[in-house]
Structure 1
Amino acid sequence: MPRAPYAANPEAHGPREWSGTPEGGTRGPRSAFQRDRDRIIHSMAFRRLKSKTQVFIAPDGDHYRTRLTHSLEVAQIGRVLARALGLDEDLTEALCLAHDLGHPPFGHAGEAALSDAMERHGGFDHNAQALRTVMRIECPYPQHDGLNLTWDLLEGLAKHNGPVTAPGWALAELDDAFPLELETWPSLEAQIAAVADDIAYDNHDIDDGLRAGFLSLDDLLTLDFLADQWRSVEKRFPHAPRERLLREMIRDQIGLMVNDVLEHTAAQTSDVGSVAEVRAAGRQLAGFSPAMAAQERRLKSFMYERLYYHPEQVAAAERARDVVARLFAAYSQDARLMPADWQARLPAQEPQRSRAIADFIAGMSDRFAMQAVDAIYGERPKGLINV
């Protein structure tokens, strides 16, 4: 597929925050967006995603998804969409891989606990924390803070859910230092990364919910569009085991969503001639058709009712929130409980002090957070490994 006129161009990418730093020509012939992707993959924050909650907290089973495997699945879907639309695959992949770097331990339960703890200090938001992670916290280079990613990558992360009209403190602070045009829509690569995220978790969470026994086939067949998929799969493979048919149904649903996005996005961009026109369009150009968007909303509502708010999930989330709240309280009272390097750079004044403590906790994996509570309080959290 030739490069579309509205694709982001790695040869004409936006600036990096820290200009004048050598690109390291001896490290291989890579484009600017390939360097972004590789810096993300080699980061400690990316490695820690392997032990962070996707749906199930610290699962015992090897086959349940974590934030890391979810991010890889999002990247696979994103690359397919980008290639078919003539977009920059490397930028799309980098955005997909980085989109969850700001998630704290225990997923949305951990985020809620940090948001409560930080209420007097501006709150906490995992999307903004992803930017904070790659721009200020992850510091492997001797000449500057952060990973020094391109403007295009940072803009896409900042606007993962579209334009931001009222940024919280973290995003506002970063935007002041390195303006990201928060009021406009981002590149099509960023829009594709966002819809790939939806496609991945909408369908793969079904797979995990079925495996855990929180969902059943009868539950799923109450949704007419999934019932249609199931009947089609049964007709094509009448003698296959049910488990294989369920996985085939999920693959079919992913394929339907991908093809819908390709058809709808192609129609929306037929008269778009540049990436600048994408940003100036004033509306989302890449996404589901209205009919598929309605189905996707129904699926999300179903998943919240049957899986995310399942009584066992809610109970585990409450215990997880308690772990994060107790860690924040302990470090706020006695910073000597933190590692020496974090102590050394902990600000003395508020709100910076509490924000740095939140940075430390947000970087933890599920298991590390449980170990930290055990070390501080002498009490291993119970009831968190919910699978």
Structure 2
Amino acid sequence: MDRAPYAADPARSRGREFATGADGARGPRTAFQRDRDRIIHSIAFRRLRGKTQVFVAPDGDHYRTRLTHSLEVAQIGRVVARALRLDEDLTEALCLAHDIGHPPFGHAGEEALSAAMERHGGFDHNAQTLRTLMRLESPYCEHDGLNLSWETLEGLAKHNGPVASPGWALAELDAAFPLELGRWPSLEAQVAALADDIAYDNHDIDDGLRAGFLSLDELLTLDFLAEEWRALERRFPHAARERRLRELVRSQIGLMVNDLIAATRARLEGVGSASEVRSTEGALAGFSPAMAAREAHLKRFMYERLYHHPEQLAVARVAGGVVARLYAAYDQEPALMGAGWAGMVPGEQPERARHIADFIAGMTDRYAIDQYRAIFGKVPDGLTNV
């Protein structure tokens, strides 16, 4: 692979938390390729297919889940990484794993868990991703966790930038395997974070239109989308509106990807190593100022019109109540979690609360609904709106 000097190099990896001697027995893969493969083969990754992206427990087959979103992020991340001559395998691993710590029902579930855990350190989905991959997902006989490389764990911990005040989960993991939380992460991690933004900025438009929460007229109040729509009408005058809408989403992704590559490439002039990337005072990967302003405008629009739509907020309240009542039930009667998890409940706080949160955070939407029904007899009305 023709890597740039500022790219992460698996041959120079800082290693893994637990030393192993059998890596070469499973094929001629780099450290980052093995990380990606361990993530893909994990149970935690498979569970993403049943976790909320935008819509809670949707009945329709065409809406995105955390799994399909993560695959789309990985596709965008690899395109950008290849253009910038970064390590594509590390970028892909980070993109695929970045949402593994999300509990059921998306941000509504996270807020409910955080409230339930307020006296015990709180809950954060990003730290839970690290906790899941480093401690909970344990298919190996020699150690806990997937034992991913330092670079992958660092990128997951800091893909949104340095962490000045880590919560309890990230602090515990960092104490066991220091990740230099105060420094900027690799370019691969920075690209993964931006690929996530590009994917959900645009694909959530697609799902919002499909569900009827967004309309074309609303979208065209954004000047940059209106301009692109008019261009598509001129280019495809006889195409059905549905096809032009999908073309609009694809076009916006292409514009953002091309801008990201060009703006980042310009910032990398004179950067000669991955170490220099981590020593900078700010991110090197990013959009141009004009595209950054446009992307921020789109995000505000999406929060106002989709994520904070009254119907969405109503469903979120119901979903949060499901998570809160499950937590209270397991806290009162741990046996409800089943023999495996109930048999490992710590006797003291905060470990007891964190164990219950680990159990709930791993649930899919469907499993949480099934557990709620088994405990309380019925599921509350209004748990989905699509």
- Please indicate the TM-score interval, normalised by the length of the shorter structure: over 0.9
2:326 equivalent to 1:327: yes
Counterpart residue number, 1:153: 152
Q: Percent of pairs identical after alignment?
A: 73
Gaps of 5+ in 1: none
Cα offsets for 1:243-265 (capped at 9, x unmatched): 00011011110000000000100
**1:175-324 pair list within 5 angstroms:** 175-324=174-323
What amino acid maps onto 2:186 in structure 1?
S
Q: Does structure 2 retain, via aligned residues, the 8 Å contact 1:370–1:381? A: no
How far apart are 1:287 and its partner, in Å?
A: 1.1
TM alignment of 1:323-362, pairs within 5 A? 323-362=322-361
Other-structure match for 1:136 = 135
TM-score by length of 1: 0.99
Alpha-carbon distance between aligned partners in 1 of 2:316 and 2:353, rounded to the nearest angstrom: 23
Report the Cα offset of residue 23 of structure 1.
3.1
Aligned residues: 386
Aligned counterpart, 2:106: 107
Give me the whole-angstrom Cα distance separating, in 2, the residues matched to 1:286 and 1:147.
28
Q: 3-state SS of the aligned residue for 2:210?
A: helix
Find the aligned partners of 1:329 and 1:270 in 2 and give their Cα distance: 54
Residue 12 (structure 2) aligns with = 12
CA distance in 2, matches of 1:84, 1:282: 24
Distance 1:381 1:11 in 2: 53
1:185 and 1:24 map into 2 onto residues whose CA distance is 29
1:81-128 per-position Cα deviation (integer Å, ceiling 9, x unaligned): 000000000000000000000000000000000000000001000000
Deviation at 1:169, TM superposition (A): 0.6
The unaligned stretches of length 5 or more in structure 2 are: none
CA contact (8 A) 1:79 1:93 kept: yes
Partners of 1:225 and 1:2 in 2: how far apart?
A: 36
Equivalence for 1:91 = 90
Q: CA RMSD in A?
A: 0.8
Does 1:74 pair with 2:73?
yes
For 2:235 and 2:3, locate their aligned partners in 1 and report how far apart those are by CA, in whole Å. 37
- In structure 1, distance between residues paired with 2:366 and 2:381: 12
Amino acid at match of 1:2: D
Distance 2:380 2:96 in 1: 30
Distance of 2:317 and 2:189 partners within structure 1: 33
Deviation at 1:306, TM superposition (A): 0.4
Deviations 1:174-197 (A, max 9, x none): 111110000000000000000000
The one-letter code sitting in structure 2 at the alignment partner of 1:136 is: R
Spell out structure 1 runs of 4+ moving beyond 3 A: none
8 Å Cα contact 1:7-1:275 kept in structure 2 = yes
For 1:36, the equivalent position in structure 2 comes to: 35
The answer to whether the Cα contact below 8 Å between 1:131 and 1:158 also exists between their aligned partners in 2 is yes
| Kept after mapping to 2: 8 A contact 1:104/1:364 | yes
CA contact (8 A) 1:127 1:160 kept: no
> 1:339: how far off?
1.8
